[in-house]
Amino acid sequence: MKIATVALCGALAALIAAPVAAKDWRGWNIHPEGYPNTIALEDFAKEVAEKTDGRIKPTVYNNAVLGDQPDAIEQVRNGGLDFANFNMGPMGQIVPETNVLSLPFIFKDVEHMHRVMDGPIGQEFSDALSSAGLVALSWFDSGSRSFYNTKHPIETPADMKGLKFRVMNNDLYVNMVDALGGNATPMAYSEVYQSLKTGVIDGAENNYPSFDSSNHYEVAKYYSVTNHLIIPECICISKATWDATPEADQEIVKTAAINAAKEQRALWAKRSEASKEEVEAAGVKVNQVKDPAAFQAAMKPVYANFLAENPELKPLVEAIQTTE
Ligand code: BDP
């Protein structure tokens, strides 16, 4: 054998024998330990590590230690982070199609949201996310959101007047609260507790598990059930990370994400009940709004403005509204 050939064989052998470097994946999560999403994400990470024999080693960073949601979305898009559990609320500012999911009362209930997101319409959202650098692998629940505040129960839209509510980072939510007669201020989730406590804001809106886990219930004693938003959440992988993953491992990751979503949805249902009981036991007054139709009727201008600004999204809005 010629020397060059020997050298080449040696190099090839070294390549074959060399262990493939494990890929460390960093995952963003806003929630604390023990929250349904956190448990499911951690199980997702475990399944991926096990099934890929350690070729991929995902780590989940809880409590938004890697930054706020809008920052984290950018980081996952540009490959600075590998995966995350994102609520589609703040996503609307980046992927306009997903704003449709933030239209108040667009879903009749959580089951309706499941039917939409698990079918062909869900795929349309995945495609839109993918064009923005995010691969949505599965959909988590985040129940339905209602208003809470430090002052008094909200029975009718008129009770919102004079109250300042924190909303997630999306102009649609500012329009929503305006249309109900309140004042809205977009703010990072991590700042809400202190702002409620010091009176910078009077209220916010969220589902029972987050109202509970964020401790907002300690300071905001009135939770008024409006169920105005039902927003799905994704397990999203950075497209850069996804494209660099061999197909066989992509399959493993996808399956793990679907399993995690099944687990999350089951945990979610239990946690919603438990959190409702917990906040009530802690002295929160929960009331059903007297006339839900009045809240829905107030959303007409929000829809009208949205569709005037985004006429191309009308078919998507209608497709959801007509899904049985
Ligand atoms: C929770 C969502 C989380 C949001 C948070 C918020 O799961 O993704 O960031 O609400 O209100 O329900 O900011």
Q: What residue spans define the domains of the chain?
A: 21-141+231-273, 144-230+284-322
- On whether the CB atoms of residues 176 and 295 are closer than 8 A, the answer is no
Q: Tell me, yes or no, if the two domains 21-141+231-273 and 144-230+284-322 fold the same way.
A: yes
Per-residue pLDDT band at 18 (split at 50, 70, 90) = low
Per-residue pLDDT band at 324 (split at 50, 70, 90) = very high
The residues, any chain, with a CB within 8 Å of residue 249's CB and separated by 6 or more, are 52, 55, 56
- Ligand 1 pocket test target in 189, 193, 272 with most atoms within 8 Å of CB: 189
pLDDT in tens, 100-135: 999 999 999 999 999 999 999 999 999 999 999 999
pLDDT in tens, 245-278: 999 999 999 999 999 999 999 999 999 999 999 9
What does the pLDDT read at residue 220?
Answer: 98
Does the Cβ of 206 fall within 6 Å of ligand 1? yes
Does the Cβ of 30 fall within 6 Å of ligand 1? yes
- On whether the CB atoms of residues 144 and 207 are closer than 8 A, the answer is yes
Which residue lies with its CA nearest to atom 4 of ligand 1? Answer: 87
Task: Return the CATH fold of 144-230+284-322.
Answer: D-Maltodextrin-Binding Protein; domain 2 (3.40.190)
Mean pLDDT of 75-85: 97
**Assigned token pair, 23:** 């890929």
Give the chain's mean pLDDT: 94
**CATH code given to domain 21-141+231-273:** 3.40.190.170
Q: How far is the CA of 146 from the centre of ligand 1 (A)?
A: 12
Q: In terms of DSSP H, where are the helices of the chain? A: 3-17, 36-51, 69-77, 88-91, 110-117, 120-131, 171-180, 192-198, 208-213, 239-243, 247-281, 292-297, 300-309, 314-321
SS3 211: helix
- On whether the CB atoms of residues 229 and 174 are closer than 8 A, the answer is no
Does the Cβ of 207 fall within 6 Å of ligand 1? yes
Per-residue pLDDT band at 20 (split at 50, 70, 90) = low
Which residue lies with its CA nearest to atom 8 of ligand 1? Answer: 87
Look at 16 and 46; give whichever has higher pLDDT: 46
Phi, psi values for residue 3, rounded to 5°: -60, -40
Does the Cβ of 142 fall within 6 Å of ligand 1? yes
Instruction: Report the predicted TM-score, pTM, of the whole model to 2 decimal places.
Output: 0.93
What does the pLDDT read at residue 6?
Answer: 47
What does the pLDDT read at residue 21?
Answer: 78
Atom of ligand 1 at shortest range from CA of 207:
12
SS3 8: helix
pLDDT in tens, 211-252: 999 999 999 999 999 999 999 999 999 999 999 999 999 999
Which residue lies with its CA nearest to atom 2 of ligand 1? Answer: 87
Mean pLDDT of 298-311: 98
- Ligand 1 pocket test target in 165, 206, 207 with most atoms within 8 Å of CB: 206
Does the Cβ of 173 fall within 6 Å of ligand 1? no
Atom of ligand 1 at shortest range from CA of 205:
11
**Burial (Cβ within 10 Å: 0-12, 13-18, ≥19) of residue 90:** buried
- On whether the CB atoms of residues 167 and 185 are closer than 8 A, the answer is yes
pLDDT at 17 over 80: no
